[in-house]
C-alpha cells in the first residue's frame, strides 16, 4: 500500500462499449447521468467504443453533447478500436463540453482532477493498428489516487494467443495504479491481478450494466471496491 498524502474518498461510475450510432442512442448517456446522480458519483469513465464508428452524423454528435451536458461531474473518455482518435474522428468533430476529458494523445495521456486528488492515464486507440493498451505505463503521478483506463482483451490462457489489443495480467499488476478501468468486453468481469484492482464494467447500452467503483482513503491507505449496478 502507498501511504503518502491523506487523500479523499472518491466514487467513479465506469462504463464502456456504448457503441452510439444514432441520435436516439444518446439516451444511454442520459441514463448514465441519472445513475451518476443516484449514486453520488464524482466522475464518469467511458472506456472505449463510446461511438460505434467515426462516421456518425453531426446530429448524433449534437445529441451526445446535449446528454453529456446533463452531467455535473467530470467525464473521462478513452477512444477505443471502433472510435480511434485519428484525423476526422468523432473526437475532432464533436464539441462535448469543458467537463469532458478525452485521452486522445497517441502513446498515452494523463488527465488530472485536482478536486478529487486523482489522476487518470490511458493509451487511446489512435489508428486501426494493433497495440498493447497497458504496455509501458508511466510512473505514478503526484495525486493520491492513480487510475488507468485500457480498452483491450485480457489474456488469460492459450485460447487468447493472437487476440488483438492484448492486456496481460502481469501488465495490470505492474501498472502501479489503484484501479484499472477496462473496456472491450460487454460482460462485467473481474480482472484484478497482483494486488491491483481491475474490472470490465459491462456496457450500459448493450447489457444494462456498469460498475460503481469506490476509492476509500483511510489513514492514508487505499481501498478499492467494485460493484456491478444496473444502468
Q: Can you state the angle between helices 27-38 and 58-68, rounded to 10 degrees? A: 10
Query: Total domain count for the chain?
Result: 1
Residue 3 in any domain: the answer is no
Q: What is the model's pTM? A: 0.96
pLDDT in tens, 60-101: 999 999 999 999 999 999 999 999 999 999 999 999 999 999
125 confidence band (pLDDT: 50, 70, 90): very high
CATH number of the domain where residue 132 is located: 3.60.21.10
Q: What is the pLDDT of the chain when averaged over all its residues? A: 95
The residue written with cell numbers 503518502 in the block is: 4
Burial of 114 (0-12, 13-18, 19+ CB in 10 A): exposed
The domain of 34 spans 10-230
Q: How far apart are CA 69 and CA 155, in angstroms?
A: 37
Amino acid at each position: 500500500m502507498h501511504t503518502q498524502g491523506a487523500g479523499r474518498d472518491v466514487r467513479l461510475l465506469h462504463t464502456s462499449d456504448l457503441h452510439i450510432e444514432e441520435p436516439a442512442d444518446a439516451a444511454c448517456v442520459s441514463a448514465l447521468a441519472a445513475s451518476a446522480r443516484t449514486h453520488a458519483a464524482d466522475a464518469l469513465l467511458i472506456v472505449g467504443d463510446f461511438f460505434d464508428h467515426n462516421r456518425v452524423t453531426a446530429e448524433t454528435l449534437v445529441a451526445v453533447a446535449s446528454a453529456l451536458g446533463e452531467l455535473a461531474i467530470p467525464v473521462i473518455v478513452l477512444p477505443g478500436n471502433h472510435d480511434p482518435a485519428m484525423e476526422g474522428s468523432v473526437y475532432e468533430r464533436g464539441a462535448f463540453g469543458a467537463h469532458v476529458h478525452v485521452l486522445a494523445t497517441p502513446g498515452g495521456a494523463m488527465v488530472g482532477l485536482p478536486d478529487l486528488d486523482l489522476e487518470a492515464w490511458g493509451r487511446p486507440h489512435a489508428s486501426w493498428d494493433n497495440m498493447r493498451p497497458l504496455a509501458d505505463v508511466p510512473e505514478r503521478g503526484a495525486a493520491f489516487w492513480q487510475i488507468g483506463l485500457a480498452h483491450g482483451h485480457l489474456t488469460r490462457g492459450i485460447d487468447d494467443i493472437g487476440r488483438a489489443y492484448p492486456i496481460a495480467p502481469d501488465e495490470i499488476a505492474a501498472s502501479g495504479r489503484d484501479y484499472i478501468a477496462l473496456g472491450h468486453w460487454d460482460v462485467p468481469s473481474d480482472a484484478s491481478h497482483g494486488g491491483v484492482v481491475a474490472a470490465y464494467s459491462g456496457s450500459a447500452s448493450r447489457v444494462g450494466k456498469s460498475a460503481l467503483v469506490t476509492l476509500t482513503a483511510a489513514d492514508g491507505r487505499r481501498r478499492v471496491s467494485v460493484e456491478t449496478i444496473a444502468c
